[in-house]
Chains A and B, each alone.
Chain A
């Protein structure tokens, strides 16, 4: 079990394709960043085709989480430190 599954999280969406997760996060979050596959959040490499959209809403991170047997989930985790860290290295997603 990965570190992310040990966090307190809310499942915002499930059963979406990765592309649909990207669009879901882009619509939902005030700030959206793009990260590369394999970039770590909460100490765990994030999986998915690039660009991987990760959103923040204040102290919350919203991101896709892929499990091989369970498709992709969009998770929401409260972590001001990780949200601040994300802003230091991730590229802001282009505005649509």
Chain B
């Protein structure tokens, strides 16, 4: 598939304090590319440093931006995405996800709620879209499985 034919996906990441987020972000970028998407990862500076460290040669994550710039590119430049995956484990994460949902009404929108308080945090969602909820903190496997089912990614035993 050529770059021109690739669909665009935006992956919105929250504060990196919950360990599963970083590995799932790399896994998500890998799966998105494998499935014909060009993923843009948006996060705060600490998130970007973690990902740069995890994938120094950019095998999986080729483009990253700050959350602020991702919002501005949509509001000021009319950037559009076919798919948006928003990771959230706090009220602030839900606020960013809600903002993206509002700004990208035509995108397939999936909120991935994780962390110790996943079930309580998921109840803060006031917008429409798909939601994946899993009390995952250190072990990404159950959330990875749910994401693979919802997104139609082939389940790998690796």
Residue numbers of A with Cβ under 8 A of B are 2, 17-19, 36-38, 40, 44-45, 47-50, 66-72
Contact = CB atoms under 8 A, between A and B. Distances in A.
A50 B124 CA distance: 13
Nearest to B121: A17
A interface secondary structure, majority: loop
Size bin of chain B's contact surface: 20 to 34
Interface of B: 14-15, 17, 43-44, 46, 67-68, 71-72, 74-75, 90-96, 98-99, 102-103, 124, 126-127
Nearest to B99: A37
Interface centre among B14, B67, B92, B93, by most chain A C-beta atoms within 10 angstroms, is B92
B interface secondary structure, majority: helix
A70 B44 CA distance: 12
Contacts of A69: 15, 17, 44, 46, 92
Contacts of B96: 47, 66, 68
12 contacts: A17-B124, A18-B91, A18-B94, A18-B95, A18-B124, A36-B102, A44-B68, A45-B72, A48-B99, A49-B95, A68-B67, A71-B92
